[in-house]
Amino acid sequence: VERSVFEGLDRVDPLAPFRDEFDIPDDGPIYLDGNSLGRPPRSAVAAVEAGLREWAIDLVGGWRRWVHLPESVGDRIGELLGARSGQVAVCDSTTVNLYKLASGALAARPGRGVIVGSAGDFPTDRYVLQGIAAASGHRLQLVGSSPSEGVDLDDLCRHINDDTALVCLSHVDYRSGARLDLTEVTEAVHRVGAMVLWDLCHSAGAVPVALDDSGADLAVGCTYKYLNAGPGAPGFLYVRTELQRDVAHPIWGWFGQSDQFAMGREYQRTEGAAGYLTGTPGVLALMAVDAAAGVTARAGIELLWAKSRELTDLLVRLITERLVPLGARLASPADPARRGAHIAVAHRQAWPWCASLVERGQVVGDFRPPDVLRLGPAPLYTRFVDLFDAVEKMAAVLSDGLPDGDFEARVT
C-alpha cells in the first residue's frame, strides 16, 4: 500500500477533528500505546484544573456535589457500554472492583465450588481469582488460551458445569487483542447456571460493549486506556440491576451505606451501583473521567469502532507486507471478526525492537513477555498515516539489525 492511500483516508476521516481535542506535543513519537495509557484530552486537563479551583473555593462544601460523582460518572460510562442508569459506578481500581464483584458473585451461587478464568488473562485478573479461591476454598480452573488466538472456547465449554459458580474473562485479550463474543459466551455460562464477570479494560471506549443486551451479569474495567482519563484513573464496575440484591459486597464502607450521612449503626447496602462503592472517592480523578469520557461520547462508539477496524485491518496488512519478510509474525487473530482494537506482532527480539523504537523517539508500542510488541492505534487521535510511518520505522530498525546490550523492561 502507498502512503498516499493513508493520507487519503485521513482526509475523509469523520473523526479526524477529534485529534485537535488532545494535548499532543509537536515533536513526539508516533504513539501506538493508547491501549495502555490514553493521551490527555484538553477537556480532562481543564476539568482537573477546574477541580483544583473548586477545592480552594468551595472547600468541604464541594462535597454536596462531589458525593454523587461515582454514580453520575458511572452512568456516563454506562451509556458508552450499553448499560442503563444505576448499574455502573466509577470507583477504586480494576483490581479492587474485580475482587469485590468476584467475591460477591460467589455469595450469589452458594454450593458451587469452581471459579473459571483464563490462563492467558492479564495478571491482576488471575491473581485476584487465585487469592479469592485460596481464601474461600473454591477451586480455580484456568482454561487454555493461545498466545495469538486467546481463550479456547471449546476448552471453556468443557470446563463449565453445574459446579461452576463464576466465569471471569476479558472481552478483549490484553496481549493478542483476541475478542470474545459477549453474548455467545454469556449464554454458554448461563446454560450451566453460573455467573459471568467481564473485564472490559481493553474494550471500553473503542469496542462496542452492549452490556445490557448481551445478558452479562457483571463487568469491570479501567478508564485510562481508550477512555483517556489519565495514569491510574479509577476503575468502573457494572452489576445488572436484577442481580444487585443477590450479589454481595465484601467491603462494607460508608460510601456504600444507605442514607450515608445519617451514619447509622448497622451497615445497609444502598440501592443501585452505589451499593458497590467503598470509601471516599478521588474527586479530581472522577472529574477527569467525566470530561474524558465526554470526548468519546461525542465521537460515538460506532464511528470509533468503524475507524478502529479500518486501522487494525490496515495495520495487519502493513505488518504482513513489511514486517513478516523481516522475521516478524502476526500474533493476533487473522480473522478481523475476532479482533479488538489492538494488534500484536511477535518477534524473537521483540524486547530490543520495542526499546529501540522508543529510544530513537520514533514509535511507542509496548512489549509483552515473552516476544510480543503490542500496537494500539486509538481511533480518537491516531491518523491513518501514523500507521504507515510507524511500520516504515519498525521495518528500518529490523533491517538495520538490532543493537546488542541490555534494555530496561518497559512498564505499562
Least distance between a second copy and beta carbon 366 (Å): 7
Least distance between a second copy and beta carbon 358 (Å): 7
Measured distance CA(14)–CA(231) in Å, rounded: 28
Please give the positions annotated as active site: 122, 199, 224-225, 374
Longest dimension (CA), the chain: 70
Name the CA radius of gyration of the chain, rounded: 22
**Sign of torsion, CA 19 25 30 32?**
negative
For position 224 contacting a second copy by CB under 8 A, the verdict is yes
Question: What is the enclosing helix (H) or strand (E) of 198?
Answer: strand 195-199
Cα torsion at 270, 71, 121, 332 (round to 10°)? 150
For position 183 contacting a second copy by CB under 8 A, the verdict is no
**Which SS3 state, helix, strand or coil, does residue 196 take?**
strand
**Residues in binding contact with a second copy, number by CB under 8 A:** 84
Q: Which stretch binds a second copy (CB under 8 A): 19-27, 152-160, 208-216, 320-328?
A: 19-27
Of the candidate residues 13, 39, 177, 219, the single one contacting a second copy (CB under 8 A):
39
Q: Are strands 114-118 and 139-143 parallel, antiparallel or unpaired?
A: parallel
Measured distance CA(21)–CA(40) in Å, rounded: 9
Closer of 6 and 255 to a second copy (Cβ): 255
Measured distance CA(95)–CA(407) in Å, rounded: 29
For position 282 contacting a second copy by CB under 8 A, the verdict is yes
The 236-255 contact track toward a second copy, x by CB under 8 A, reads -------------xxxxxxx
For position 325 contacting a second copy by CB under 8 A, the verdict is no
Q: Which stretch binds a second copy (CB under 8 A): 229-237, 295-303, 305-313, 384-392?
A: 229-237
**Which SS3 state, helix, strand or coil, does residue 248 take?**
coil
**Which SS3 state, helix, strand or coil, does residue 395 take?**
helix
Q: Please, which of residues 55-84 interact with a second copy by CB under 8 A?
A: 55-57, 59-64, 66-67
Residue type, 409: A
Q: Which stretch binds a second copy (CB under 8 A): 13-21, 31-39, 151-159, 340-348?
A: 31-39
- Of the candidates 128, 124, 171, the one whose C-alpha atom is nearest the C-alpha of residue 151 is 171
Least distance between a second copy and beta carbon 92 (Å): 7
For position 20 contacting a second copy by CB under 8 A, the verdict is no
The single-letter DSSP state of residue 11 is H
Q: Please, which of residues 115-134 interact with a second copy by CB under 8 A?
A: 122-124, 126-128, 130-131
- Residues near 358 by Cβ (< 8 Å), separated by ≥ 6? 29, 364, 410
For position 360 contacting a second copy by CB under 8 A, the verdict is no
Closer of 190 and 393 to a second copy (Cβ): 393
For position 94 contacting a second copy by CB under 8 A, the verdict is yes
- Residues near 115 by Cβ (< 8 Å), separated by ≥ 6? 102, 106, 129, 132, 133, 138, 139, 140, 141, 164, 165, 166, 167, 168
Q: Which stretch binds a second copy (CB under 8 A): 183-191, 260-268, 310-318, 390-398?
A: 260-268
Least distance between a second copy and beta carbon 411 (Å): 4
For position 361 contacting a second copy by CB under 8 A, the verdict is no
For position 14 contacting a second copy by CB under 8 A, the verdict is no
Q: Please, which of residues 369-408 interact with a second copy by CB under 8 A?
A: 369, 408
Closer of 112 and 368 to a second copy (Cβ): 368
For position 141 contacting a second copy by CB under 8 A, the verdict is no
Closer of 11 and 265 to a second copy (Cβ): 265
